[in-house]
Amino acid sequence: MLTPFFITFKIKMLFENWKENLEPLIDKYKGRKHPLNYNNSYQLLIMVILSAQDSDANINNITIPFFEKHPNLESISNSSIEEINPYFTKVKNYPTKTTWIYELAKFLKTDNNIPTNLTDLISLKGIGRKSANVILRETNQKTEGIIVDLHVIRVVPRIGLTSKYEDGNKIEKLLMQQLPYEIWDEIGMAFSFLGREICRPTNPKCDDCPINTHCNYFRNLKQ
């Protein structure tokens, strides 16, 4: 029977090993800004809502004229759904997202009321855990979870950190159990950048990966 001390020791070793193994990845991407081209927390909030099931590049383009017309939440709240709808017609599921943004602006009223914690962020329509974690990281707030986007969902099972799941929240929970808290703030985006640039869905550039020696997929290729 395993003693509590031995179990604690094994968990500590697991955390320390993964922290050490993932250091080259974190070093490569640490502090890199999210691909959404935002200038402040208001713009970031709007853009993460719009980017769900859409590309960051598309959102970067279509929001330029919108932010020129509506530079803050107060401007949106004084507008109407009918007025802001035309800006987002090239965004996937834009009628729903437009409604979320308008209702959110009416609720928050000013940019100063944008939440700075996970619980309050995910209470807003259109903001799930992934989006909330992105906002907290990008605005240098206290880390409360790990960013898990579609790239992370693909990458971490390849590495061998989790089994394969489509549910980002499940992947996040498993990562939070596997990884020490002190790397939560950077590791999610590091995995995401790895998936965007190196660990592609097809023909991944495994030789360029900074953690390939700790990756199940790479080891299997070499067998």
Domain range list for the chain: 14-33+147-222, 41-138
| Residue whose token pair is 């790895």 | 194
d(C-alpha 169, C-alpha 175), whole Å:
10
Average pLDDT, the chain: 92
Quick check: pTM over 0.85?
Answer: yes
| Residue whose token pair is 């709808």 | 85
* The dihedral formed by the CA atoms of 74, 51, 33 and 64, expressed in degrees to the nearest 10: -50
pLDDT in tens, 43-95: 999 999 999 999 999 999 999 999 999 999 999 999 999 999 999 999 999 99
Of 73 and 1, the one with more pLDDT: 73
d(C-alpha 144, C-alpha 207), whole Å:
33
CATH 3.30.450.20 fits 41-138, yes or no: no
Q: Are 149 and 190 in contact (CB under 8 A)?
A: no
Q: Do domains 14-33+147-222 and 41-138 have the same CATH topology?
A: no
d(C-alpha 217, C-alpha 161), whole Å:
11
Q: What does the pLDDT read at residue 180?
A: 93
The one-letter amino acid at 200:
R
- Tell me the longest C-alpha to C-alpha distance in the chain: 67
| Residue whose token pair is 């360029």 | 208
* Least confident stretch, 19-23, 105-109, 133-137: 19-23
CATH 1.10.1670.10 fits 14-33+147-222, yes or no: yes
Q: Are 22 and 184 in contact (CB under 8 A)?
A: no
